[in-house]
Structure 1
């Protein structure tokens, strides 16, 4: 074995404190024992990890590389300990979900509310990420379940389509495009837009579409939620592109107009992404089924 957890903790402390002596004290090791551990790691890796100087120690290039991996490894160990500790507190399962903006803010709260009520011993961690980051996380095992829109099949992953995400233009009633019924996205670019924050999947998608066309998006303001977007649109700050299911909910209460976009990309398939559905724990497979049935039904009703 190249190292153990004590070796990694010791090495991280050495890097932080720039002192072998102080790192040994923090680890409750003798200086000789700490020095021997470092020498053994250097011998096993076949490289020098530290430069010993009068003022302390400095990491070699190899030591810097080891430090990065040691920190990542220890973070994973702490995460494992945290998740395993939950079993002592009555938690029998843990599911990690990475999802796009619409999923996180619109339909997943209701889906998880019902699912968790039926599964009190399951814990869920959900994070909003961009589509490509979601797929990468599922590939690497960082996330158990991903929820994306407009993504093609990726080798080694299973995509389960559960609904179609239609993007539409939303405008105030007296806006020049409000009476159009339908319009191209390109025709909207001469007007000022309301956008979501930079980390949102939808904003990233629209920014890419505009960049590929060689045009510019006139972003008047960016906000954190679809509701805030609609409030800005109602206040005539600008127009915005939203999922139709979201737009339909706010259009009635805020007196907004929905205009269909004519581009083919306006219709995007929503999918649950997993490595292999059959290898997920039973409770995770049940959550996938919840997402596919509840979310798909909710969007159909909204439209």
Structure 2
């Protein structure tokens, strides 16, 4: 059975877009050409890859299996191209990382910048996501490295301790909660919040925590960064939940107070997550080793 890399990319794009037409557009194919490719692929396999309906398309079980292997093949091809670029364009490799809000804003900037200075032949793409999405991307082979913030025991990934994710409340100096050494998350839900944008991993995490208490969060304002949230808190717009290291740092610049959270989930271990360390390209393995060498699990 022979496969075409164009078909691999097409199916991945269709799955991610949940639409044949948008998948075709991402693959730079016309809709008829994309449809014919999928039909020919299904004919060769002897089974349907897609469920088709008026709302779009979804993958059949065999389609899910095909997608999993297609992502692995395409990722390995990217690794090959990265290695070959060393001899053509001077860029040796490209590493794709998904990480939590705390990892991206607090723990990764300094070691990543040092790694890139020491490795001018490597490029990195880094995106913020929730832990479960990161784990799925690692197991699917669509990223090289993940940084997750939950106690995960998954047989299909390898995990390495990296740091600590601890959340704290920041409040205006005249807020009713100021003066408390610590506070439960449930108590904070009586007050207006300054939150990060809805697309952020932190926003989704806190909304899920409030839903588990059957209490809504009252977002008065949503902003694009932790610094902006702390600044708006200093002007009395509301309270905010941020990594404790950021809270303490901005408390030296803004008129805010830091209050610890008593909830157990506010303290989580960050872990580096990879599918198989030995199968990573050498430059990605070098980054994992570098992060582990600079990690301080008691940093927060």
Inter-CA distance 89–263: structure 2 relative to 1 (3 Å threshold): same
Structure 1 residues 162-241: aligned runs within 5 Å:
162-241=162-241
> What is the CA deviation profile of residues 155-187 of structure 1, one whole-angstrom value per residue up to 9, with x for unaligned ones?
221221122221111111111111112111111
Separation in structure 2 between the aligned mates of residue 6 and residue 277 of structure 1, nearest angstrom = 28
Structure 2 residue corresponding to 1:16, chosen from 14, 30, 44: 30
Tell me which residue corresponds to 2:85.
86
Query: d(CA) in 2 for partners of 1:111 and 1:40?
Result: 47
Cα deviations across residues 236-265 of structure 1 (Å, max 9, x unaligned)?
000011111111110111121111111111
Kept after mapping to 2: 8 A contact 1:210/1:217: yes
Shift in alpha-carbon separation, 1:245–1:76, aligned structure 2, 3 A: same
Residue of structure 2 equivalent to 1:107: 107
Q: Does the C-alpha gap of structure 1 residues 183 and 19 become closer, same or farther in structure 2, counting only changes over 3 Å?
A: closer
Structure 1-normalised TM-score? 0.75
Return the structure number with greater helix share: 1
Distance 1:133 1:5, change over 3 A: closer
1:18 shift after superposition: 4.3
The CA deviation at 1:281 is 3.6
In the other structure, the counterpart of 1:125 is 125
Q: Which residue of 1 aligns with 2:18?
A: none
Preserved contact between residue 2 and residue 45 of structure 1 (Cα < 8 Å): no
Q: Counterpart in 2 of 1:97?
A: 97
Aligned residue number for residue 57 of structure 1? none
* Alpha-carbon shift at residue 4 of structure 1 (Å): 4.1
1:154–1:18 distance in 2 versus 1, CA, 3 Å? closer
Look at both structures and tell me which one has the larger radius of gyration over its CA atoms.
1
Within the alignment, does 1:263 sit opposite 2:277 as a pair? no
Q: Distance between the aligned counterparts of 2:152 and 2:7, measured in 1?
A: 44
Equivalents in 1 of 2:168, 2:250: separation in Å? 13
TM-score, normalisation: structure 2: 0.76
Work out the CA distance in 2 between the residues paired with 1:204 and 1:236.
Answer: 23
Asked if the contact 1:150/1:268 (under 8 Å) is kept, the reply is: yes
Measure, in 1, the Cα distance between the counterparts of 2:102 and 2:215: 26
Determine the C-alpha separation between the residues in 1 that align with 2:171 and 2:45: 63
The whole-number CA distance in structure 1 between the counterparts of 2:115 and 2:156 is 27
Structure 2 gaps, min length 5 = 11-23
SS of aligned partner of 1:296: coil
- Residues 82, 93 of structure 2: 8 Å contact kept: no
Note the C-alpha offset of 1:101. 1.6
Segments of structure 1 that go 5 or more residues without pairing to the other structure are: 24-34, 49-59
Q: Cα offset for 1:100?
A: 1.2
CA deviation vs aligned residue, 1:37-68 (integer Å, no higher than 9, x gap): 999868645589xxxxxxxxxxx969x889x9
C-alpha contact 2:251 2:257 (8 A) present in aligned 1: yes
- Closer/same/farther in 2, CA of residues 292 and 172 from structure 1, 3 Å limit: farther
* Structure 1 counterpart SS, 2:289: helix
TM-aligned CA deviation for residue 8 of structure 1: 8.8
Distance 1:181 1:203 in 2: 24
- Paired residues, what number? 274
Q: How far off its partner does 1:124 sit?
A: 1.5
Q: Cα RMSD (Å) of the superposition?
A: 4.0
The Cα shift of 1:146 comes to 0.3
Q: In the TM superposition, what whole-angstrom CA distance separates every residue of 1:201-222 from its partner, at most 9, and x where no partner exists? A: 2221111111011111111111
